[in-house]
Amino acid sequence: MNVDQLDWNALERLRGAFLSGTAGRAVYWKSMTDLASYDASFGERIGWKWDAVLAELRRRGWQPPAGSVYDFGCGSGIAGRRMIREWGVKHLPVLRVQDRSSIAEQFALERAKSEFPELAVERFTADEPLTPQSGPATLVVSHVISELAPADRQRLMEWLPRFDAVIWVEPGTHADSHALVEVREAVRTQMRVVAPCTHEKTCGLTAPENGRHWCHSFGKPPGGVFADGDWVRFAQRMGIDLRSLPYSFLVLDRRVGVACGGDEAGEMSRVLGHPRVYKGYAKLFNCCARGVEEITLQRRTDPGLFKRLDRGTHCGLFRWVLDGGTVREAAEVGGNPEETILGEAEDPIP
Ligand SMILES: C[S@@+](CC[C@H](N)C(=O)[O-])C[C@H]1O[C@@H](n2cnc3c(N)ncnc32)[C@H](O)[C@@H]1O
């Protein structure tokens, strides 16, 4: 990022719309400069969340079908580009974008083409049917749900099962997480649930007693960002805690024979949000096929894991041996301890 190239007025206007929850009311992209400033700052930060999601999918051995990526509500196009960066133009040779703002579509197409000259890029319309000739298709949706009117959200939800796979990433707020749970519950009979879940049963967060909890994880900004004067200035001016990168996500798959997010024995668990760490023990909000429940890990049971939970450098997925609500044995699943870091929950700014 080069702060001298940012249009601060535009960023402040966008930030105001995101924070006040009014962004959905009208098109807010006024110029290509708006989009360039967003892409280098808020958009790049969203890209770090995508990096965390795609890294988890790789760890879990999942990949999108070879074919096209459709980026709905593309904005500057960060989600589509992150997909191509991760899986390559050979695997994903076509990017289609759609936004209610035509200049956003234009920016996303141009930026993608300049980053990946070999990529075929075009617009799509939300009503366009996918035909067998369209080939395998993955839909990506990023930081859009709070801007959609109920009818648009419903239409998008009905549209999901047309795709072979869907990757949907939202800010890690309570409201956005629960909105994704609604999407999950509406489509899980038509598509398999790959992630964040470790099972395909009813989401435990739909139980009224769990309504105050939400499913969120934390990404990790690239090394060097905290010491980068431009990022630090951006964060100060926009009131953003750079260390904190909460997100919620949902990955669905309609392909036959593709493994879902759990393990065969249905024993894998996900820890939602931050563990609450006390002197000699930690309270974890655990999600597995049985539902969601609070469990306790004593420091002495696994001092190494206890430390990683405290620092937020755990991978989020575990196999536990439990005795009542207490962990007796713990194993991190495919863990890359560098994947997640500590941060504050609830961050309404993309
Ligand atoms: C916060 S931006 C996110 C942009 C991009 N997906 C990202 O992650 O950086 C939300 C985008 O959704 C678009 N949007 C809002 N309502 C929409 C609708 N009903 N149909 C299509 N796009 C919409 C906005 O124009 C904007 O580009």
Going from the Cα of 26 to the center of ligand 1, the distance in angstroms, rounded, reads 11
Mean pLDDT of the chain: 91
Going from the Cα of 143 to the center of ligand 1, the distance in angstroms, rounded, reads 7
Give the residue-averaged pLDDT of 262-278. 85
In this model, does residue 325 exceed pLDDT 50?
A: yes
- In whole angstroms, give the CA distance from residue 193 to residue 199: 8
Give the residue-averaged pLDDT of 176-184. 97
CB-CB contact of 164 with 138 (8 Å): yes
Tell me the one-letter amino acid at 67: G
Q: What is the pLDDT of residues 208-239, one digit of tens each?
A: 999 999 999 999 899 899 999 999 999 999 99
Supply the pLDDT for residue 133.
75
Give the residue-averaged pLDDT of 132-155. 93
Q: Is 194 in the pocket of ligand 1 (CB under 6 A)?
A: no
Supply the pLDDT for residue 330.
93
Going from the Cα of 70 to the center of ligand 1, the distance in angstroms, rounded, reads 13
CB-CB contact of 198 with 315 (8 Å): no
Find how far residue 102's CA is from the centre of its chain. Answer: 24
Q: Which domains are seen in the chain, by residue range?
A: 3-253 (3.40.50.150), 268-332 (2.40.50)
Q: Is 111 in the pocket of ligand 1 (CB under 6 A)?
A: no
Q: What is the pLDDT of residues 19-68, one digit of tens each?
A: 888 888 899 999 999 999 999 999 999 999 999 999 999 988 899 999 99
Percentage of residues of the chain with pLDDT beyond 70: 92
Supply the pLDDT for residue 312.
86
Q: Is 350 in the pocket of ligand 1 (CB under 6 A)?
A: yes
Supply the pLDDT for residue 267.
81
Q: Is 43 in the pocket of ligand 1 (CB under 6 A)?
A: yes
- Which residues fall within 8 angstroms of residue 125, CB to CB, at 6 or more apart? 98
- In whole angstroms, give the CA distance from residue 10 to residue 28: 10
Q: Is 79 in the pocket of ligand 1 (CB under 6 A)?
A: yes
Q: Is 74 in the pocket of ligand 1 (CB under 6 A)?
A: yes
pTM for the structure as a whole: 0.94
Tell me the one-letter amino acid at 299: R
Going from the Cα of 297 to the center of ligand 1, the distance in angstroms, rounded, reads 41
Phi and psi, residue 277, nearest 5°: -105, 125
- In whole angstroms, give the CA distance from residue 246 to residue 258: 28
Q: Is 153 in the pocket of ligand 1 (CB under 6 A)?
A: no
Going from the Cα of 77 to the center of ligand 1, the distance in angstroms, rounded, reads 10
Going from the Cα of 100 to the center of ligand 1, the distance in angstroms, rounded, reads 7
Q: Is 196 in the pocket of ligand 1 (CB under 6 A)?
A: no
Say if residue 130 is exposed, middle or buried (CB neighbours under 10 Å; 0-12, 13-18, 19+): middle
Supply the pLDDT for residue 263.
66
Q: Is 104 in the pocket of ligand 1 (CB under 6 A)?
A: yes
- In whole angstroms, give the CA distance from residue 227 to residue 253: 39
Q: Is 213 in the pocket of ligand 1 (CB under 6 A)?
A: no
Q: What is the pLDDT of residues 90-135, one digit of tens each?
A: 999 999 999 999 999 999 999 999 999 999 999 998 777 677 778 9
Q: Is 105 in the pocket of ligand 1 (CB under 6 A)?
A: no
In this model, does residue 347 exceed pLDDT 70?
A: no
Q: Whose CA is nearest to atom 4 of ligand 1?
A: 75
Going from the Cα of 144 to the center of ligand 1, the distance in angstroms, rounded, reads 5
